[in-house]
Homo-oligomer: A and B are copies of this chain.
Amino acid sequence: MKLNELDTVCIVGLGLLGGSVGMAVNRALGRVRRVGYSHRAVTRRRAVELGTVDMVCADLADAVGRAQFVILAVPVGTFPDLMRQMAEYLPDHCIVTDVGSTKALPARWARKFLPARVEFLGSHPMAGSEQRGVEFARDDLFDGANCIVTPTARTSRATLRFVGDFWRTLGMRVSHLGPAEHDRVLARISHLPHVLATALVNCSDEQQIALCGKGFLDTTRIASGPPGVWRDILMTNTTNSAAAIGRLIKELTRLQKALHTGNEKAIMRMLETAQKKRNNLVAEKLKRRELPG
């Protein structure tokens, strides 16, 4: 299937991400029919009121039954159940993707629970916020952000092109990583920052943090993210996340040691390295227009 042949997309889960996919599809691919599924009646109603989808179904079989492209936008922990439930109703040659933050387990679940007549290819659109729910959905959530698509040896070229074209049309920069490699990298650049923000809040005393400034608030912003979503992310990427924590502890121990021994030069070197590295990162992101100038 080519993107211009897409007639009906089904979005399973109508939270911030699912709702935003629907709105972005409407903006970029207005002719495509958008069917939404949510198990909550109030979400189904709001999703239609807000224009995130054209119609909603309370029944998963109805929702996916006529879609050529199904997007799972629910917490990763619910994938096995949903995949089992939808398996027999998916049309032949249907393409299934997801927007979850870990990719190795979902790929394994897809092989196990989805029929061979459909093709699964994982996606990780790296957009979102600490906010949650369809109320926060926006049609520009994906503009300029990265999307990592995670092909395996089984992925067909046509599907790889279709899914990549889909996200690019929604405004994203698309790159490819295998599911296992994706999870290793994301443990470092996404799951570790979350764990870190959580640990920083938890090791602080409420009376003390009341005095904090902007630095503490920014460093811990992501700790306000939904615990259920992050539990799922961490629990589906335990080994890599634990290894990333280990590497961070090593780095912190180096800093601690330099403080204990009053090694001013070592401290300065670590501060300078981090500043330079982060400034390069920001410059690169600005150049690629991933950040507002």
Contact = CB atoms under 8 A, between A and B. Distances in A.
Interface of A: 126-129, 145-146, 148, 175, 185, 188-190, 192-206, 208-228, 230-231, 234-235, 238-239, 241-242, 245-253, 255-256, 259-260, 262, 264, 267-268, 270-275, 277-282, 284-285, 291
Contacts of A211: 126, 146, 148, 175, 185, 189
A262 B238 CA distance: 7
A188 B208 CA distance: 8
B262 A252 contact: no
Contacts of A256: 242, 245-246, 249
A249 B94 CA distance: 47
What is the count of identical protomers in the complex?
2
B246 A249 contact: no
28 contacts: A129-B214, A145-B213, A148-B211, A185-B211, A189-B213, A190-B212, A190-B215, A193-B220, A196-B200, A199-B251, A202-B273, A203-B248, A209-B277, A212-B281, A215-B221, A219-B222, A224-B275, A226-B275, A227-B268, A227-B275, A231-B264, A235-B264, A238-B259, A238-B262, A239-B259, A245-B255, A245-B256, A249-B253
Contacts of A216: 189-190, 193
Contacts of A259: 234, 238-239, 241-242, 245
Residue of A192, A200, A235, A280 with most chain B CB atoms under a 10 A cut-off: A200
Say whether chain A's binding surface is mostly helix, strand, loop, or mixed.
helix
Contact of A251 (B202, B225, B241, B251): B202
A16 to B, nearest CB: 13
Which 10 residue pairs are nearest across A and B when measured between Cβ atoms? Answer: A227-B271, A126-B213, A201-B274, A198-B274, A199-B251, A193-B219, A203-B251, A242-B259, A189-B212, A245-B256
Contact of A281 (B129, B209, B250): B209
Contacts of A231: 264, 267-268, 271
Nearest to A212: B189
A215 B189 CA distance: 9
Contacts of A192: 200
Contacts of A215: 190, 193-194, 221-222
Nearest to A222: B215
B227 A222 contact: no
Contacts of A223: 274-275, 278
Contact of A235 (B238, B251, B262): B262
